Amino acid sequence: MAAPGAESSSPRAPRETRPARMEALARLPVFFGLEGRRVLVAGGGEPAAWKAELLSAAGARVEVIAPAVCEDIWRLAGAPTHGPIAVHVRDWHSDDIDGAALAIGDFEDAAEAERFSAAVRAAGVPVNVIDRPALCDFTFGAIVNRSPLVVGISTDGAAPVFGQAVRAKIEALLPSGFRAWAQAAKTWRAAVTERGLSFHARRAFWERFAAKALSEPHRAPEEADRAALFAAIEIEGTAPQGRSGAGGSVVLVGAGPGDPELLTLKAVRALQSADVVLYDDLVSGAILDFARREAKKMLVGKTGYGPSCKQDDINALMVELAREGRRVVRLKGGEPMIFGRAGEEIAHCRAAGVPVEVVPGISSPQGAASRLVTSLTHRDHARRLQFVTAHARDGKLPADLDFKALSDKAATTVVYMPRRTLPDLVRNLLAAGIEPATPAVAIFSVTRPEEKVVIATVASLTEAVTRAVDAGAEGPCLVLYGHALSEVAAQDLPQAAEAARG
């Protein structure tokens, strides 16, 4: 969540950040275009038959050369999947390699396999020798076929059965109807190019196309769909309210409390369509990885008490980028509409005539409840749930808090950003008559690997949090208290800080 308190005395300017370097790849995933190209298969067994079928399906002119050829290869040659398959019953020769786009070998004899691999590599042709990874320049892997949408899966030969299991999982997730939508995209691409649309308009067309395909995967697209997509882009490009023809906009996206698996699907789609991502310090690198790699990522850090970008600068930057025709994602920790300054940013965009929308996120209290495995609104203990910030514009405890309401024994209360003002908060709650033994929990870095849980009572909370911080607890802190949390103390929470129990 973005800190709602006072601007830091040490302001900083928004700055572009470099995406994390790509981690090491065991294999580079590439897709060869083989339509009409010659591919050599040396070997005549069943493994060679499967490779020949796969290559034919990709449109290759397959030449199988072997002194003995299995029945499957003869059947394939008589009725190839797509590209033709020719069979030569003889030993392979080095001359057979010339002009081949790829070469595949299937040999029982290790020496013959090594001789084939060496000859192919000497000719500068990529080689695959079945079941001999050390002799291969490339591997095939498992395939999910919704051609022209094709998904390849590799475990670098380490666990083929695992690769097949992943393939089965993806098969279940990708409707067979995606084949028709992918084919339509291939067919319509020329028409999109011929219209002379701007880069942003073209991207907007394909974003709408993808959204329609995902929402209606079980029917084939029609010409009426294409016409409707073009009409929507034309309307968007001529919209009033000061919008540029390029269709710039701002989307406020909730990043959730920290665990990247808590991102919503809509948040992921927004990140993958962003031109620029403006993100806070509390957003993890694992979440930023969901943004498309071409997107510019700019840190506009908002943290309590530390150096922060001024809110006015962030507002101005959002509008400036949107007016340039960019799709701007303002990525905020937690839920942007709860103590995330979303109201100020929305108002600024509207005043400037920039379209703005919101993609909600999992709030920090929701993340905390899931980690505590407890209901915040247990009907035997809580008739209401209330959120409050302990951090005013001046960095102090807000002067207008209703401590009588905050001491209600039938409420569960969530306190945002309480670290610096916790002693004053507890002192005022006790003065307002809250039961000192009311169960309380403080959670640092909720849902993240470094999460730390502090279990206490309202009366002992300040001391317990201090001990936890001294023991190394860090990150954003959330406090929850109320009788709905009475069962939390009895739980075996491995992430709890034993030293902090009061």
Contact predicate 448/284, CB 8 Å = yes
Amino acid occupying residue 380: D
Is 313 in the active site?
Answer: no
- CA dist 361 and 267 (Å) reads 8
- Beta 276-279 vs 127-129: how paired, if at all? unpaired
Secondary structure tally for the chain: helices H, strands E: 15, 18
Q: Burial level of 181, CB count in 10 A (0-12/13-18/19+)?
A: buried
- Whether omega before 307 lies within 30 degrees of 0, making that bond cis, reads no
Which residue bears the tokens 């943290």?
A: 303
Length of the chain: 502
Give the C-alpha separation, 390 to 406, whole Å: 12
Structure tokens at 415: 């306190």
Paired strand residues for 456? 440
Name the residue among 43, 79, 85, 77 with its Cα closest to residue 60.
Answer: 85
* Residue 159: alpha-carbon gap to chain centroid: 25
- Residue 222 is encoded by which pair of tokens? 């029609």
Active site residue 394: no
386 is written with which tokens?
């209330």
Helix (H) or strand (E) holding 40, with range, is strand 38-42
Choose the catalytic residue: 280, 281, 332, 452: 280
Place of tokens 């033709």: 84
Residue type, position 239, single letter: A
Catalytic residue among 297, 302, 332, 452: 302
Please state, in angstroms and rounded to a whole number, the distance separating the CA atoms of residues 322 and 325: 5
Q: Catalogue the active-site residues.
A: 280, 302
